[in-house]
Each structure stands twice: as C-alpha cells, then as structure tokens.
Amino acid sequence: MAIYGIGTDIVQVSRIAAVLERTGGRFAEKVLGPDELRVFAARRRRSEARGIAFLATRFSAKEAFSKAIGLGMRWPMTWRALQTLNEASGQPYVLASGELAAWLAERRITARVTVSDERDYAVSFVVAEVPDDGAPAAVAARN
C-alpha cells in the first residue's frame, strides 16, 4: 500500500459538550451516523462524560479523515457518510456509505484510524492508503 494522505485532529471535549448542550442534542444527530448514534446513546445513558468523549472522538476522526483524503468537509465527505466504529477487539475502523463510499472505491482508497481521549481533549489520526501498483500514489489515486 502507498500513502494517499494523512490527517490529524484534536478537539477540546468541553467545546463538544457545550455545542451538544446548546443544540439540545441535535449536534450528535447531525454529526454521527446511525451506528455511531446507537453507541453514543448507550454510552451516554451509562455516563454523560463517556457519551461526550465518544462524540468528541468521532467528530475528531471525521475531521482527520477529511484531511487525509484531501477534501475537507465538502461533498462527498459529509458528517454522516463516514462512521468510526470498533471491532470486537476495540480497534477502531472507518465505514463509509453512499456517495463517499463510491468516491473512495473509485480511487481505491482505504483508511486506518486511531482515536484517543483524555478528560480535556480527543485526538484522531488517519492514514489513507491506495494500492501500490508501481505508479506514484498521487497519480494512481487522483486520476
């Protein structure tokens, strides 16, 4: 595999909590995909802090992913089109849907993600990759 792009993001957890409170929960519905929303709701029921931390890491992962693929937050990269879920082992992975999934498949882009949070901050790092078929990554992926 060849690296297509990398992205990182850090977010202050209190900022996410403030936006969530100000929007009456609508922020989570705008940012999270359906599977992420279920996990968020379950974690938030157990602990408000755990729910907010989950939302912060997912927000951060989407920002990092958008940087890694070079689009920023514009079509086909939308908040709900990308979900960061976890394997049974706990390892996070990204799952794209709709037009974003098609855009990624057309370019043969896959991605690896890691997320972490502490009391004050959530951080994410994404490596976007393309098959290494002898062509420079930028040429192979962007044509």
CB 115 within 8 A of CB 57: yes
63 in a known ligand binding site: yes
Tokens of 24: 């009456």
Amino acid at 64: A
Burial 29-53 (b: 16+ CB within 10 A, else e): eebbbeebbebbeebbeeeeeebbb
CB 71 within 8 A of CB 11: no
- 3-class secondary structure, 41: helix
Q: What is the 3-state secondary structure (H, E, C) of 47-77?
A: CHHHHHHHHHHHHHHHHHHHHHCCCCCCCCC
9 in a known ligand binding site: yes
Annotated binding residues for Mg(2+) = 9, 63
Annotated binding residues = 9, 63
